[in-house]
Amino acid sequence: MRFQAVSDPRARSAPRRGLTRAAARGRTATISALAAAACGLVMTGCGSQGSASAASSATSPASTGSSSAASADACATAQLKISLIDTGALAGQAGGYLKFTNDSSTSCRMSGWPAVIGLTAAGKATALRNLQSTMFGAWHYTSPPPAVTLLPGDSAYAVVAADDHPAGSSTSCPAPYVRLRVSPPGDSATATISAWLPGAGSYLPSCPSAKGTPTAGTSTITTQASLPH
């Protein structure tokens, strides 16, 4: 007796259906993985942009040229503590840095030249000129002068300097300035401080130039970072 092998169509279709479903599941998993990766890239990009924006918005206002500088009122003499620091003599000049510290509870703004008058022991008063540059402090004027915003406790500076040697045929300089009468830019009220320069061992000189004009003067208001130390 011969047996004839009869193939069952349903038997062949079952493995095929299994393979088809497996392939479909593979394609679905691949697509899902690619979608997740793409989503991850998008989220990473969005996160970077968000971090950059947050960092930008969290940046504290700069001491010069910030929007807070424009909104703050000009510093008044009454809210400032004024002193003379980092004094010495260098390259034919003697001087120091006028330090303006905001001693109040509110922010204020400073820009331009302070008004400074040198007083001799005899009471002679001379207005210090607006310098364009100084050897002392290695400062040079740039236009426009910076606007410096002082939070409570912050400080701004101005170089004060004068020639410390007689010029031309002179053999000596007039009596030095023993006090300085100081006003911040824009305020007429004054504060009087000592003109003694510990680093130079003398008071601020009142030596004139060869033309007879006073050499003592001040820089514009600036930040400590812009001055050498």
Residue with tokens 């300097």: 161
Of 18-22, 92-96, 194-198, the one with minimum mean pLDDT is 18-22
pLDDT of residue 88: 95
Q: What are 173's two structure tokens?
A: 């300089």
Confidence of residue 152 (pLDDT cuts 50, 70, 90): very high
Q: Which residue has the higher pLDDT, 136 or 63?
A: 136
Of 72-86, 94-108, 162-176, the one with minimum mean pLDDT is 162-176
Average pLDDT taken over every residue of the chain: 79
- Of 164, 167, 155, 151, whose CA–CA distance to 202 is shortest? 164
Q: What is the value of pTM for the model shown?
A: 0.70
Does residue 78 surpass a pLDDT of 60? yes
Q: Which residue has the higher pLDDT, 74 or 224?
A: 74
pLDDT of residue 142: 87
Give the DSSP letter string of 173-184.
-PPPEEEEEEE-
Reduced to 3 states, what is the DSSP secondary structure of residue 44? Answer: helix
pLDDT digits 0-9 by tens, 184-210: 999 999 999 999 999 999 999 999 999
